[in-house]
Amino acid sequence: MGKLYLVPTPVGNMDDITLRAIRVLREVGLVLAEDTRRAGLLLKHHAIEARLLSHHKFNEHRTAEMLAARIAAGEDMALVTDAGTPGISDPGFLLVRAAVEAGAEVECLPGATAFVPALVCSALPCERFAFEGFLPQKKGRHTRIVALQDEPRTMIFYESPHRLVRLLAELADVFGAERRASVSREISKLHEDTQRGTLAQLADHFTATPPKGEIVVVVEGRGGEDARQRKAQRQTHTD
């Protein structure tokens, strides 16, 4: 019986990878990669020689069961995506499900994700949170945002640079312009940046300064405004 390893890869700096991940990538017989060119650069950077096979959202429906059968028959494989942990807004779920159903062992290594550093750096409560990933681009988008209006937990969204201002404006329209949020981009890269403020302030900022790079938006949950108002009232009474 073989094993499927889910191996997180750096979201920015190529050195943000664990020693264990490097060892696994060297030892497995096959590395399944969302983009073999990007994976090849990472492997070369760490002097890893490995066989690569393309596995992405356009072919995973066709190949997941076949690959799972090979793993169950004795092959060890590792799955990597372009950045971060496989399955988190990236291919991975279908292969994991097929491998489990085939009786193969699945192991996910701990490692890089984009949303964790963005959440921690947001200065918003992070003991409980709701990860939303990418919202639907068309059908169901507004309905989903409205459904999150009363979500009490901190919310996390992924977005592309050219749609960021649209997302901030939509959230401000439904959640309220004064809802607190942060926008982190280029995490662990040379030009890493986090902007914090209200949804309205952030929309204005990125309208004036169009963003580049991968983006994570963290938004305060419902109730945060009330807590700030109560704190302000207590401070006023104390003064």
User: Which CATH number do you get for residue 90?
Assistant: 3.40.1010.10
Structure tokens at 111: 């490692």
Question: Do 121 and 223 fall within a single domain?
Answer: yes
Residue 33 has pLDDT above 70, yes or no: yes
Q: What is the pLDDT of residues 161-174, one digit of tens each?
A: 999 999 999 999 99
pLDDT at site 1: 87
Contact 26, 43 (CB under 8 A): no
Confidence of residue 224 (pLDDT cuts 50, 70, 90): confident
* Mean pLDDT rounded to a whole number for the chain: 93
Answer whether 0.85 is exceeded by the pTM: yes
> Is residue 237 in a domain?
no
CA atoms within 13 Å, Cβ hemisphere of 129: 22
Question: What CATH code is carried by the domain that includes residue 221?
Answer: 3.30.950.10
Angle at 97 between CA 26 and CA 157, to 5 degrees: 85
Strand partners, 194: 184
Q: Which DSSP symbol is given to 186?
A: S
Question: Do 19 and 98 fall within a single domain?
Answer: yes
Furthest CA-CA distance within the chain: 72
Domain that holds residue 35: 3-108
Question: Do 218 and 119 fall within a single domain?
Answer: yes
